[in-house]
Structure formats: structure tokens, C-alpha cells
Amino acid sequence: MTRLAFILALLFTASWQEAETVDVRDRGPVDLRAFTCQDVTRSSIIARVCYDDANQYMLIQRNGVYDHYCELPKAARDALLNAPSMGQYFKANIKATGSDENGPYDCRTHKVPSYQ
């Protein structure tokens, strides 16, 4: 009986930290444990930004879909979050543009981190 009480006490006092995994376009599932995520309420285009400092890897949720950007410096992430218009900054500085659709942080041409 004492053992059961101890186990129950551990269960109720333990901090539950459920891992969140999101599905990223052209990549698949990514565990967000290594990321700092911010919900965005002041943009009609961007709903959430998640950034992994160690790998300079950013996920952006737009229209319910996550896209990823590789080798993106923290300064670019900060500029996005602080821009007067996040959508305009995103389109001009991060998003793939042009006929080949390779943006400056396109994960097809930059190192993609591995999360195990």
C-alpha cells in the first residue's frame, strides 16, 4: 500500500511536459522539444514561428501548414518577429521567390538538421 501511495504521489507531483510534434511540408514530422515557439496574433499570414537556435532552423505555420527554413540566422528570425508587417518581411526576405523558388534559406540547398 505504501508503494502505491508513493507512485501516486509521484504521478501527481511530476510536471507533465507533453512533446509536441508537427508535420512539416516536404519533411514530415518534427519534434518541437528543441524549439522555442511563438504564437503570432498580429499577422494575417503567419500563425506561429518556431526556432531552434542551435541549428538555425525555423518552422513557420501559415494557413495551417508548417514550412521549414534552414541555416536562418537568429537575427533574421528576430527581424521577422519585430517587423511592422511580418507578412511583407517574410515575403521579401525569407520565402522562396522567382522561377526556381529557391529562397535564401531553402532547405533543398542548405543543411537540414536531424531530430531523433
Q: What is the pLDDT of residue 103?
A: 87
Average pLDDT, the chain: 87
Q: Which residues contact 46 (CB under 8 A, 6 or more apart)?
A: 40, 60, 61, 62, 86, 87, 90
The residue ranking higher by pLDDT, 32 or 101, is 32
Residue 10 pLDDT exceeds 60: no
Residue range 14-22: mean pLDDT, rounded: 68
* Cell numbers standing for residue 68: 521549414
Which one, of 55, 40, 54, lies nearest residue 87 by Cα?
Answer: 40
pLDDT at 85 over 80: yes
At 31-51, the pLDDT tens digits run 999 999 999 999 999 999 999
Res 92 pLDDT > 70: yes
pTM of the model: 0.81
Question: What is the structure's pLDDT at 15?
Answer: 45
Span 77-92, average pLDDT = 96
